[in-house]
Structure 1
Amino acid sequence: MNQAPVAGSSHLLVFAVWDEYSKERIDHVFDYLAEKRHADASVYDKQRNFSKQFFGSMSIEENFHHAAKQANIALGLAIVAAASEGIDTTPMEGLIRQGLMNFLIYQRKGSEVLCCWQSDIETKKTTGILKMKKYVSRKKSF
Structure 2
Amino acid sequence: MSLVDALQWRYAAKRLNGEAVPEEKLERILEAARLAPSSFGLQPWSLVHVRSPELRQRIHDAAAPQPQVIEGSDLLVFAVHDSDFYQQLDHHIRHTAETRGMTESDLAGFRDMIKGTLDGKGDHQAHLAWAARQAYIGLGVAIAAAASEQVDASPMEGFKPDALDEVLGLHDKGLRSVALLALGYRDAERDQGAGFKKVRRSMEKFVYRLG
Q: TM-score range by the shorter chain?
A: 0.7 to 0.9
Q: What amino acid is the match of 2:186?
A: T
Normalised TM-score (structure 1): 0.80
Asked whether the equivalents of residues 68 and 154 of structure 2 are also in contact (C-alpha less than 8 Å), the reply is no
The Cα of 1:140 is off from its aligned counterpart by 3.3
Q: Secondary structure at the match of 1:95?
A: coil
Give structure 1 stretches of 5+ with no counterpart.
Answer: none
Alignment partners' CA distance in 1, 2:187 and 2:110: 43
Alignment partners' CA distance in 1, 2:187 and 2:139: 18
Matched, 1:108 2:172: yes
Q: Secondary structure at the match of 2:171?
A: coil
1:38-70 deviation digits (Å, cap 9, x = unpaired): 333333221111112220342222212111111
Matched, 1:80 2:140: no
Matched, 1:99 2:171: no
Asked whether the equivalents of residues 74 and 182 of structure 2 are also in contact (C-alpha less than 8 Å), the reply is yes
Name the stretch that deviates more: 107-116 or 79-88.
Answer: 107-116
The Cα of 1:74 is off from its aligned counterpart by 1.3
1:86-140 deviation digits (Å, cap 9, x = unpaired): 11100001111122223323233543111110111xxxx2154675544542023
Identity %: 31
1:82/1:44 Cα in 2 relative to 1: closer, same or farther (>3 Å)?
A: farther
Alignment partners' CA distance in 2, 1:108 and 1:75: 23
The Cα of 1:23 is off from its aligned counterpart by 1.9
Matched, 1:6 2:69: yes
Give structure 2 stretches of 5+ with no counterpart.
Answer: 1-61, 207-211
Q: Which residue of 1 aligns with 2:134?
A: 70
RMSD of equivalent CA atoms: 2.4
1:136/1:36 Cα in 2 relative to 1: closer, same or farther (>3 Å)?
A: same
2:117 to 51, 54, 75: 54
Q: Which residue of 1 aligns with 2:105?
A: 42
Q: Which residue of 2 aligns with 1:18?
A: 81
Aligned length: 138
Name the stretch that deviates more: 26-35 or 2-11.
Answer: 2-11
The Cα of 1:76 is off from its aligned counterpart by 0.9
Task: Return the structure number with greater helix share.
Answer: 2
